[in-house]
Amino acid sequence: MSPMQQLLDVLTLEQIETNLFRGRSYPEERGRIFGGQVIAQALLAAHTTVEARHCHSLQAYFIRPGDPTIPVLYEVERSRDGKSFTTRRVIAIQRGEQILNLAASFQTEEPGFEHQGGMPDVPGPDGLPDMRELWRDIARREPKLAMAAERERPIEIRPIDPIDPLDPKPGTAFQRVWMRASEPVEGAVLNKALLAYASDMSLLGTSLRPHGVSFVKGVQAASLDHILWFHRPVEMHEWHLYDQDSPNAAGARGFNRGALFRRDGTLVASVAQEGLIRPRP
Residues 105 and 133 grouped into a single domain: no
pLDDT, tens digit (0-9, with 9 covering 90-100), for 52-71: 999 999 999 999 999 999 99
pLDDT, tens digit (0-9, with 9 covering 90-100), for 208-264: 999 999 988 889 999 999 999 999 999 999 999 999 999 999 999 999 999 999 999
Q: Is residue 200 annotated as a catalytic residue, yes or no?
A: yes
Domain of 51 in residue numbering reads as 1-109
214 DSSP 8-state letter: B
Q: What is the CA radius of gyration of the chain?
A: 18
Which one of 41, 105, 199, 200 is the catalytic residue? 200
Domain tally, the chain: 2
User: Taking all residues of the chain, what is their mean pLDDT, rounded to a whole number?
Assistant: 94
Strand order in the sheet with 72-81: 14-17, 20-23, 72-81, 85-94, 97-107, 54-62, 219-230, 267-279, 253-262, 240-250, 174-181, 155-159
Rounded to whole angstroms, the Cα distance separating 53 from 106 reads 6
Least confident of 39-53, 54-68, 136-150, 154-168: 136-150
Residues 141 and 78 grouped into a single domain: no
E strand or H helix that includes residue 74: strand 72-81
Rounded to whole angstroms, the Cα distance separating 131 from 157 reads 6
Residues 105 and 226 grouped into a single domain: no
Q: Which amino acid is at 257?
A: R
Which one of 37, 202, 214, 223 is the catalytic residue? 223
pTM over 0.85: yes
Give residue 174's pLDDT band: very low, low, confident or very high (50, 70, 90): very high
Residues 149 and 100 grouped into a single domain: no
Q: Which amino acid is at 37?
A: Q
Give residue 196's pLDDT band: very low, low, confident or very high (50, 70, 90): very high
Rounded to whole angstroms, the Cα distance separating 278 from 258 reads 22
Residues 133 and 265 grouped into a single domain: yes
Q: Where residue 4 sits, what CATH number does that domain have?
A: 3.10.129.10
Q: What is the structure's pLDDT at 234? A: 97
3-state helix vs strand vs coil in the chain, percent to 5: 20, 40, 40
Give residue 278's pLDDT band: very low, low, confident or very high (50, 70, 90): very high
3 state SS of 197 = helix
Mean pLDDT of 23-32: 82
CB 62 within 8 Å of CB 35? yes
Give CA separation, 191 vs 37, 110, 188, 220, 252, in Å: 13, 20, 5, 31, 33
Q: Helices 35-48 & 3-11, crossing angle to 10 degrees?
A: 50
Q: What angle do CA 261, 181, 86 make, to 5 degrees?
A: 65
In a domain, 256, yes or no: yes
Rounded to whole angstroms, the Cα distance separating 124 from 132 reads 18
Q: What is the structure's pLDDT at 279? A: 92
Which of 62, 81, 109 is the last residue before a domain boundary?
Answer: 109
Please check the confidence at residue 135 and state whether its pLDDT lies above 90: no
Mean pLDDT of 89-96: 98
Q: Is residue 84 annotated as a catalytic residue, yes or no?
A: no
Residues 212 and 240 grouped into a single domain: yes
Q: Is residue 223 annotated as a catalytic residue, yes or no?
A: yes
Query: Quick one: CA dihedral 136, 261, 11, 208, positive or negative?
Result: positive
Mean pLDDT of 274-281: 92
Which of 109, 141, 157 is the last residue before a domain boundary?
Answer: 109
CB 72 within 8 Å of CB 66? yes
